[in-house]
Structure 1
């Protein structure tokens, strides 16, 4: 999701929401320490995607890593490309498969637009026999589900979405065309029940929905919306004033990046212009804001002429120390001893922030890093949307695991066309930097 994602939620439109959705923000900063960013190197990059490929908005956005349990060296990286659909890459970052997004249902209607992707392992599914890739279709307000079957005809991804699946947020096609649709996505399997879910956020809204994935007798996957939760859109500051993130009129501060810690069923959600939240993955319970963006509480006004927000007052000093809006992709870096980190893309300053997974008080900041240019033409990552990480051996190329990040400004570019792709980082380099 490159572009103007920081423009969400106008102050005027949100003023009336304060009484119902406002949250009190403590004056003490969440973070105790600040460090200079570490640096890791991009080892490889996927082919560049441009915003007019095949006549559509084919921008790289969000990656997921699938590990082949029998042949780890044949593992895959699956990436969304917005109106360009899905792209599947091997560990050499070469294109393996291209899947188009669904066409518009009628003249003037919105076409499919794939925003986020995540993996559901077969081992955790009820009646599951294959790993699944689940995608949020922002254009059609639906989920698309793909069976991961490298040996299958037309594979390695095969569409197994049940026919007739319903919209998640929109009431009708008109609302779909107005982009009241699915946006961010992560998956979660409840170990107690064996049921698998997608957690899906709404575009331009603070809502997160819990959606159960349901296997059909014919081998397809249907789904149903179980419940939803709304994060605050306005906040009461320690000085007694109220604040709402600036953005386009009528839009609220949305969530995109999400990830679930399976060890304790905790959902982490990045509200782009607010900060990082945690809440139970079943969406029962009270959300807790564990870190705020640096611009939290700063007055700003939307300018319709420039389609931008401009600072309109002094910084009151209530922001965090580590995240610069937008908070984008989230991932979980698990370690063998059960510890590890939550990884958050801090899009506004081209960094990635690591928080520990402990929950006694708050998730402490552990490190911040950048993805720097690698060998030859491989550049680093800027304006990152999505991030994925897998701490498991993937053959000789990535013996200690893999980090994949989106690059919102791939270079060299091509005139006025927006150029994006995905960067591959040897996970061993990151863990060594953090441990040092």
Structure 2
């Protein structure tokens, strides 16, 4: 049954059940634009000088079917996951992932595919087929007199956000997702289709639902340092948004030796953000600038605030590089340059999400794509680094490589009684996998195993 056809305020993860789930994981902070240059010293909080400690190891024996980024595979390139938790029966929860031009995929907790959603044209007069990059979940959004749970998706080819209502039957639904995007929504970063066609468009994405009400979405722009905040609104019986604020983060950094460091990128491309997550309890945005590091940025319902700081730096932060147009790679100008980077993040810094522990406790987890690991920081205080981990595959499942997006559910999810981590894996490998077709997939990890391996407190 379609989520839109049920009685108003029906059960599942709507109404009181939705509110209870959000509470289990919620007041915002106050908070505009940071300086054009951010000092490399004084914002690090000690993370850059943290002594390197080997990553601990956890395992996974649960992975989704392989996706292929090829014509034969429907140009399906896995990128980012989100977890919808059924508050009444957590074993009925689903995982929604983006597959770029391949659309969306929906899986159950045994990683079986339940639905493939094509990257269809956006509902707009100048429509183009979609390219779905990042996804997050919003609970209890008002729509048609009901409160629905929604998968919120960034669409790069249309520079907008799109919305998919989640059937409360979850994994038992015949079609778990149904698109409910309003028509002719404004572009997020461009004035017209010509600008959108440059493809510096909607990229990373995170949902924020502050305690005082409302649903907001933070979206990053591909190839620039821009972040934008929009508020989700019902429009003509569907879901749309209105712009709230946009901020440009630093692209250059003052180093202790007096030089100014600009991260090396392709010509015309800036040091972009992708992985983002908003702390539901404090309103703090944690944002990964891929070639720079992990930021904290203040949010309010009015927009971005002056609260911002660089929590940790990638390992080669401050190394002056030169772009080689022949190899399309960045090479150090001085091979002996060690920079002033941290010890946990090896570029790219990618996916970000938050584990909510008891009270004010919890941890921020970041994909360290360059060395196939995941960095972990305290959620509160000065966000001190607490360690890192890698994921090894067992029982026929391969190890996690080059993770992009990740998602964490801090509450019990089926057999994952201490929480569930879902992470992207690229390239997927193993028997029967065609490594010539760009294979990717997603793996499920028990959060309890991560906490135990790092000696951290849970809920």
**Is the TM-score greater than 0.5?**
yes
SS of the equivalent of 1:97 reads strand
**5+ residue gaps in structure 2?**
1-33
SS of the equivalent of 2:451 reads helix
Question: Hey, what does 1:10 align to over in structure 2?
Answer: none
Question: Hey, what does 1:200 align to over in structure 2?
Answer: 219
Q: Distance in 2 between matches of 1:364 and 1:29?
A: 8
- Report Cα offsets for 1:392-419 as digits up to 9, x if no partner: 1122x22222110100110133142111
Question: Hey, what does 2:319 align to over in structure 1?
Answer: 298
Question: Hey, what does 2:404 align to over in structure 1?
Answer: 385
Question: Hey, what does 1:167 align to over in structure 2?
Answer: 187
Aligned equivalent of 2:175, options 130, 140, 155: 155
Question: Hey, what does 1:210 align to over in structure 2?
Answer: 229
Shift of 1:41: 0.4
Aligned equivalent of 1:429, options 436, 449, 456: 449
Equivalences for residues 131-150 of structure 1 within 5 A: 131-150=149-168
Question: Hey, what does 1:78 align to over in structure 2?
Answer: 96
Equivalences for residues 283-322 of structure 1 within 5 A: 283-313=304-334, 314-322=336-344
Q: Distance in 1 between matches of 2:193 and 2:251?
A: 26
Q: Summarize the Cα distance change of 1:310–1:254 in structure 2 as closer, same or farther, 3 Å threshold.
A: same
Shift of 1:301: 1.2
User: Is 1:227 the equivalent of 2:245?
Assistant: yes
Q: Summarize the Cα distance change of 1:34–1:84 in structure 2 as closer, same or farther, 3 Å threshold.
A: same
- Report Cα offsets for 1:229-260 as digits up to 9, x if no partner: 11100111110001111111011100000001
Q: CA RMSD in A?
A: 2.4
Q: Distance in 1 between matches of 2:144 and 2:453?
A: 39
- Report Cα offsets for 1:16-38 as digits up to 9, x if no partner: xxx97122211777223432101
Contact in 1 for aligned 2:360/2:380 (Cα 8 Å): no
User: Is 1:242 the equivalent of 2:260?
Assistant: yes
Shift of 1:160: 0.7
Q: Distance in 2 between matches of 1:172 and 1:124?
A: 30
User: Is 1:340 the equivalent of 2:362?
Assistant: yes
Stretch moving more, 342-351 or 307-316: 307-316
Q: Distance in 1 between matches of 2:87 and 2:438?
A: 36
Deviating 4+ runs (over 3 angstroms): 53-56, 103-106, 108-111, 123-128, 150-154
Contact in 2 for aligned 1:278/1:287 (Cα 8 Å): yes
Q: Summarize the Cα distance change of 1:105–1:332 in structure 2 as closer, same or farther, 3 Å threshold.
A: closer
Question: Hey, what does 2:372 align to over in structure 1?
Answer: 350
Q: Distance in 2 between matches of 1:63 and 1:340?
A: 20
Q: Distance in 2 between matches of 1:266 and 1:124?
A: 24
Q: Distance in 2 between matches of 1:317 and 1:302?
A: 17
Contact in 2 for aligned 1:150/1:157 (Cα 8 Å): no
Question: Hey, what does 1:324 align to over in structure 2?
Answer: 346
Aligned equivalent of 1:261, options 279, 301, 306: 279
Q: Distance in 2 between matches of 1:316 and 1:374?
A: 36
Contact in 2 for aligned 1:118/1:187 (Cα 8 Å): yes
Q: Distance in 1 between matches of 2:309 and 2:247?
A: 13
Question: Hey, what does 1:3 align to over in structure 2?
Answer: none
